[in-house]
Amino acid sequence: MKLLLERWRLFAESEEESIVLKWDEVDSIFKIFHLSSVKLGAEDEHEFTPRVPRFPMQDNTGAVIEDDFTKRVSVAPTIRQAYDALMKKGVKLYLYAADSRKLNTDNVKVLDLGAEFEKCRQKLSNPEMNNIYGAQVKPKPFELQYYLMARDLDLERYDSSEDEFKTVKPSELPRQFMMDWKNCVPDAGASEVAPSGEEWILEPTNMFFIGETDDNNETVEITKRASNLIDSLR
């Protein structure tokens, strides 16, 4: 990572002008991507700090059905998969990238959720209730309540402040059950119609601002500085 950072900083004084590249061109240079709805800080190099998700995936009842306690930075191996994971069609977003394909000195360790998925499916499914863990399961989608029922856990707990029942999340379960959900995300499996390809970075990691992008033309409007870096990594 140090050598890639040095190259990035070498182009700090480059004249700013926009250049447009296709997604597949950028995909061929870097291994991991992250999209943000805002530009993160004034610098073009940003340190991402692992956090728990603000909006974890929910089932049809509004119950959380993914690991909502492991701190991580969500990334994807292609720009398309990063875009699809956010489900924001036609919206311009800010693209960050790391881990060049050319250099062997900047490898970023990632957790492949696809490799974790079958373990999650085995632990979380309730076959007797036809409740199979995943995002595209037929004939009916996965619901947290059937996982809880199989373990004699209450689906809801009373919240006296609102005088209504509140849905239990994995992070609120007793630890032995909470750990069933570790590294589990329902759309990560290869058997899904459109597997997310989601990966997690579990340590603070520097990524580089590449430019602004949207999925209308599958292009990135990159700065001259990012263009110079990409040219050096071809």
Question: pLDDT by residue (tens digit) across 87-117?
Answer: 777 789 999 999 999 988 889 999 999 999 9
Cα 41 from chain centre: 20
Bridge partner residues of 10 (DSSP): none
For 26-82, write each residue's pLDDT tens digit.
Answer: 999 999 999 999 999 877 889 999 999 998 999 988 899 999 999 999 999 999 999
Residue 175 has pLDDT above 90, yes or no: yes
Find where tokens 């696809």 sit: 114
Cα separation, 25 vs 227, whole angstroms: 11
Cα separation, 39 vs 159, whole angstroms: 38
Nearby residues of 115 by Cβ (< 8 Å), 6 or more positions away: none
Find where tokens 């990594």 sit: 233
Cα separation, 137 vs 117, whole angstroms: 14
Cα 100 from chain centre: 19
Taking the model in full, what pTM does it have? 0.84
Query: Beta strand pairing status for 205-214 and 93-100?
Result: antiparallel
More confident of the two residues 226 and 161? 226
Burial zone of 66 (CB within 10 Å; 0-12 exposed, 13-18 middle, 19+ buried): buried
